[in-house]
Copies of this chain bind each other. A is one copy, B any other.
Amino acid sequence: MKVSFDDLHKAFESRVRLGIMSALAVNDSLDFSSLKEFLDVTDGNLSTHIKKLEQEGFVSVNKSFIDNKPNTRYSMTMEGKKAFDEHLGVLEQIINSQKES
């Protein structure tokens, strides 16, 4: 077996970023507190990782107001979905290569 570890995306090496992408893959959009609750991380930690995914172009941010209160929602971009799917595909190869042995 030859798994292409290089195809694992560096942006998803972090557990928190893997978690953010997993959550956004199955929800059209999520707000900060939902993501925080889902991942059980601190505000600062989550902010840092969301910013990194934004910079990669994998997550988009939509700021609006609901009842005059600011509401920020995060979504996965098409580019993010493509990269994340590829990443999971390589992880699956790794898992399968272990099962064959």
A→B interface (CB under 8 Å)? 1, 3, 5-6, 8, 10, 13-16, 18-19, 22, 25-26, 39-40, 88, 91-92, 94-95, 97-98, 101
Contacts and interface: CB of A to CB of B under 8 A. Distances in A.
B10 A94 contact: no
Query: Which residue, A5, A22, A40, A101, has most C-beta atoms of chain B within 10 A?
Result: A5
Contacts of A22: 3, 5, 94, 97-98
State how many copies of this chain the complex holds. 2
A95 B88 contact: yes
A3 B26 CA distance: 13
B25 A98 contact: yes
B18 A5 contact: yes
